Chain A
Amino acid sequence: MSTVTLASKRRKQALRTAAFMSPWLIGFAVFFAYPLISTVYFSFMHYDGFKPPTWSGTKNWTYVFEHYPFFWPALRNTLWLVLVMVTLRVLFGLGVGLLITKIKTGTGVFRTLFYLPYLAPPVAATMAFAFLLNPGTGPVNSILEKVGIPAPGWFNDPTWSKPALTLLALWGIGDLMVIFMAALLDVPQEQYEAAELDGASAWQRFRYVTLPNISPIVMFAVVTGVIQTMQYYTQPLIAGKVASGVIQGAGTQFEPGYPEKSTLTLPQLVYNLGFQRFDYGSACVVALVLFALSMVFTAFLMRRRGGLNLAGD
């Protein structure tokens, strides 16, 4: 083959690739690269959406870190959610995944029932839990009091609001159950048989056969759990709004993170600063903190060794 036709073939192939990739190339430029650069730009500007933006140096940054009363509580809450909610979700998801692989009768029914809450729209699920855990008339506290257990204030009590959110997160474990189930069924049976011949107990089989085999999936669940926590928005917002009894309408203000900032997360601050206080510059500062945190964990997820090989080639 002559070099001329080879070059033209290459050009043709490049054109073909560009044509197939074009929707995403445009999407990437317009809905990812451009807004990301603009976010950096706005973080150094004073902008209220009406008057043209003016340069403000690092003012927004010092405002967010030193004077904005919601930033540090939100970061602390995120840390709490990462430590407690993500850990419990992974443990519970693994537990339910194990349980479903052991169930021999009616497996399909059980699996469907365990999976359904994952599908419930977040707003609807949160409203349902705000009702179920409502200290006054909610069924959960009615039952707890009948059994004689002191009933917590759940979404109305700052010490119980995050545990209540955790309960809601555990209810929607369906996605993790499915990936753990798939991983558990992939563990080679021979390894269990060999372990059993060696006289390994059930715990030893789990510890030395199951766990090493599924550790990449556990890792995946932890890292994606952390990334999801960085995006945690709808559930804490709705829970706080419903519990505080705010009546929504144009112009109504709502105390972010009710009660006592206990349900604040970083994404809520972007909304509060940008769309309630019209301080777009400071909102962009929080957005960049959020970006930095999620990219650290995304990089961890994509690391070839130790992490999970998501790209799969």
Chain B
Amino acid sequence: MAQVLDKPVRLKAPVSPAERTARRRSLLEWVAIHSLGVAAALFFVLPFVFVFLTSLMSDTQALSRDLIPHTWEWSNYKKVFDTPGFLTWWKNTLIYAGLGTVLTVVSSIPVAYALAKFRFRGRSLSLMLVISMMMLPPQVIIIPMYLFWAKQLDLSGTLWPLIIPMAFGDAFSIFLLRQFLMTIPNEYIDAAKVDGCGDFRTLLKVVLPMAKPGIAAVGLFQFFYAWNDYFGPQIYASENPGAWTLSYGLESFKGAHHTDWNLTMAATVLVMAPVILVFFFAQKAFVEGVTLTGVKG
């Protein structure tokens, strides 16, 4: 009896040799692909890990070739916050990114709506110009723009030359929103018209609630654009440390803490962290934005 029970119980039909090699091959394929995946994941993640580990090293160890901290110096982060100016950079970045995002979204929505749903002469020309604006390197027009803001309006040393233009629509945001609004069926808009809604009310009451994911994507991209912007603050704010943003200040931080890689990396972590945190809460909107437009131009 015992001998019989020890034998494996076969529940499925016998596996043919051909099927067995096929199974073995798919298992091998699974292992190969996931090993490749892990290797790629290491390439993408290890830089973050090394930066974080160095941010916790002591001053002397940061100058050595060690990879893992001997003592975990969490006080490095406090030191970064205590650096004069660091909190001001945060405040300025939040103003630039926050105010800029609100202005961009509010001013880009009607334009995107017109480009997506109105029929008018010059529509495709307008769209082509929007795409051209999107592709234009900011350096092409920076000389007249700087002279305009700094010499004529005397606004250099502030972030206003970067924020004010955002009240007049942003080419990338218009394009992204337009791509999104194209996917909303016209029937909803027609139905609202039949119910007696004007254009403005239709946009506000019918289209906007349906466009929430698109608006979220635009808002996020614009927020990150301002957060990451280095060139703009360098041109307009460099002369006044009171107007520096995190991206601009971070580089000068490295200059002031010439040899302190640990503090520099702690500051780097602090500049990266909010972006990554926001991403975890809004992954879907982000990925949608990238697929709709291909790229942040």
Interfacial residues, chain A to chain B (CB-CB below 8 A): 13-14, 16-17, 19-24, 26-28, 30-32, 34-36, 38-39, 42, 49, 96, 99-100, 102-105, 110, 112-117, 119-125, 127-129, 131-132, 134, 137, 139, 142-143, 171, 174-175, 178-179, 182, 217, 220-221, 224, 227-228, 230-231, 233-234, 237-238, 241-242, 245-250, 266-267, 270-271, 274-275, 280, 283-284, 287-288, 290-291, 294-295, 297-298, 301-302, 310-313
Determine the residue in chain B with the shortest Cβ distance to A308. B294
Fill in one digit per residue for B136-165: 1 if any A CB lies within 8 Å of its CB, else 0: 111111111111100100000000000001
Contact B36 A23 (CB under 8 A): no
For chain B, which range describes its interface: under 10, 10 to 19, 20 to 34, or 35 or more residues? 35 or more
A-B contact pairs, 26 of them (CB 8 A): A20-B113, A24-B107, A24-B108, A28-B133, A31-B165, A35-B145, A36-B140, A38-B144, A105-B34, A110-B40, A114-B41, A119-B224, A120-B276, A128-B51, A132-B47, A139-B67, A171-B44, A227-B135, A249-B255, A270-B143, A274-B146, A275-B146, A275-B235, A291-B140, A302-B131, A312-B179
In the docked arrangement, what's the CA distance between A97 and B100, Å? Answer: 33
The A interface is mostly helix, strand or loop, or mixed, namely: helix
Residues of B within 8 A of A228 (CB): 295, 297
Residues of B within 8 A of A134 (CB): 261
A287 and B251 in contact, given A23-B110, A171-B44, A310-B131 (Cβ under 8 angstroms): no
Given contacts A103-B37, A178-B287, A291-B137, 20 further A-B contacts (CB under 8 A): A13-B120, A20-B118, A21-B110, A24-B174, A27-B165, A31-B165, A36-B140, A39-B143, A121-B228, A123-B247, A123-B251, A124-B250, A139-B54, A227-B297, A230-B137, A233-B139, A246-B255, A267-B231, A301-B135, A310-B131
In the docked arrangement, what's the CA distance between A178 and B151, Å? Answer: 43
Interfacial residues, chain B to chain A (CB-CB below 8 A): 30, 33-34, 36-37, 40-41, 43-45, 47-48, 50-51, 54, 62-65, 67, 107-108, 110-111, 113-115, 118, 120, 124, 126-133, 135-148, 151, 165, 167-169, 174, 179, 182, 199, 224, 227-228, 230-231, 234-235, 239, 246-248, 250-252, 254-256, 258, 261, 264-265, 268, 271-272, 275-276, 279, 283, 287, 290-291, 294-297
In the docked arrangement, what's the CA distance between A120 and B224, Å? Answer: 10
Distance between A25 CB and nearest chain B CB, rounded to angstroms: 9
Contact B37 A287 (CB under 8 A): no
Residues of B within 8 A of A36 (CB): 140-141
Q: Which 5 A-B pairs have the closest CB atoms?
A: A27-B168, A38-B144, A35-B141, A248-B255, A20-B114
Contact B275 A220 (CB under 8 A): no
Contact B143 A287 (CB under 8 A): yes
Residues of B within 8 A of A288 (CB): 140
A116 and B276 in contact, given A28-B129, A241-B251, A290-B137 (Cβ under 8 angstroms): yes
In the docked arrangement, what's the CA distance between A302 and B254, Å? Answer: 41
Contact A283 B143 (CB under 8 A): yes
In the docked arrangement, what's the CA distance between A150 and B177, Å? Answer: 50
In the docked arrangement, what's the CA distance between A124 and B124, Å? Answer: 39
Residues of B within 8 A of A271 (CB): 139, 234-235
A131 and B264 in contact, given A39-B143, A124-B272 (Cβ under 8 angstroms): yes
